[in-house]
Amino acid sequence: MRIDKFLKASRILKRRTVSKELAMNERVEINGRVVKPSHEVKAGDVVAITFGTRRLEIRVLSTAEVKKKQDAADMYEIISESRLETKPLAGTTQE
């Protein structure tokens, strides 16, 4: 299954266009490599998604076509979820 379709089917992201855009902007990695939206994902892969200041790492458990919301959570397991540090803008003071 394509990574953009997987992120939508697993309900990690609400829209396939959003997942496609994240991949186009090099914010999706599979097993440590930046991938394009059409990259195939399979069970056992580790996927890292960066959106905003949040980074989510998951392990793919299944790539089945899921129709029900309650079954979507069985497609992956969360490995880690973290906030990325933001750098202050140049010329601003941090109090």
Written as tens digits, the pLDDT of the chain (95 aa) is 999 999 999 999 999 999 999 999 999 999 999 999 999 999 999 999 998 889 999 999 999 887 788 888 899 999 999 998 876 666 555 55
Q: Is residue 94 domain-resident? A: no
- Confirm if 60 and 43 have CB atoms less than 8 A apart: yes
Count H helices and E strands in the chain, helices first: 3, 5
Range of the structural domain that residue 15 is part of: 3-83
Strands 33-34 and 46-51: unpaired
Structural domain total, the chain? 1
CATH of the domain at 56: 3.10.290.10
Q: Has residue 92 been placed in a domain? A: no
Is 93 contained in some domain? no
Residue 68 has which token pair?
């029900």
Q: Is residue 91 domain-resident?
A: no
| Plot region of 44 (φ>0 → left; ψ -120 to 50 → alpha; else → beta) | left
pLDDT for res 85: 80
